[in-house]
Every structure is written in C-alpha cells, then in structure tokens.
C-alpha cells in the first residue's frame, strides 16, 4: 500500500475534509475541551482561542504561576477549570 492510499475496507479522506469538519463542529455550538499542557505553548494558545470562541476549557499544567497568568488572560474565567498536575509523573507512578 502506498502512502495516501486507503487499505481494503477503509475510505480515503476527502479533500478539504478537515476544514469542513471544523465548520460542522463550530456550528454544533459550545463544547467542553480537555487540554493537557495548558499552561504554555500550543496548549495555552489553544485554550485562549477555544475560550474566545465560547468553549469551556478544562486543563492542567505543571506551573501554578503560568496557570494563574492564563486564568487572568482567558475570557470568562468562571466557565473554565485549570489545575496543577504533572500527567507524566502521575502516569509513571501508576505503572511502577
């Protein structure tokens, strides 16, 4: 099978499907989204944008200072839940 080909029983993605799917999701109304790593980088950017679009954000990050900064910047902070958690450390402690 070549890259980009669908295997038997699978259908190939339609061109522009990503944008169409995003438009359908936006039309469905506000959602609750869970973001790990919400205090910095891509997670922070996603949280700010999704909150701006009216979605409720539930997120965790390792830095209480960065989470407080995000909470001050996010729209309607009472609709969102941000907490300090180290997911990697938690997962490792459960496996050991």
Say what the pLDDT of residue 43 is.
96
Stated pTM of the model = 0.64
- The pLDDT assigned to 28 comes to 77
* Predicted pLDDT of residue 93: 67
Q: Round to whole Å and give the CA distance between 2 and 39.
A: 39
State the CATH architecture for 32-95: 3-Layer(aba) Sandwich (3.40)
The HSE-up count of residue 85 (CA atoms within 13 Å, CB side) is: 14
Which two tokens mark 8? 């038997």
Instruction: Determine the Cα–Cα distance for residues 37 and 18; give it in Å rounded to an integer.
Output: 24
- The series of mean pLDDT values per 10 residues for the chain, 96 residues long, is 55 59 72 93 95 93 94 86 81 64
Measured distance CA(35)–CA(61) in Å, rounded:
9
Helix (H) or strand (E) holding 37: none
How is residue 18 written in tokens? 């990503």
Domain ranges of the chain: 32-95
């Amino acid at each position: 099978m070549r890259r980009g080909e669908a295997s038997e029983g699978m259908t190939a993605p339609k061109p522009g499907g990503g944008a169409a799917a995003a438009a359908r999701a936006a039309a469905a109304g506000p959602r609750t989204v869970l973001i790990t790593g919400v205090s910095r980088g891509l997670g922070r950017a996603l949280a700010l944008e999704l909150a701006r679009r009216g979605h409720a954000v539930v997120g965790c990050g390792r830095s209480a200072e960065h989470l407080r900064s995000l909470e001050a910047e996010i729209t309607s902070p009472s609709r969102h839940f941000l907490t300090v958690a180290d997911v990697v450390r938690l997962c490792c402690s459960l496996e050991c």
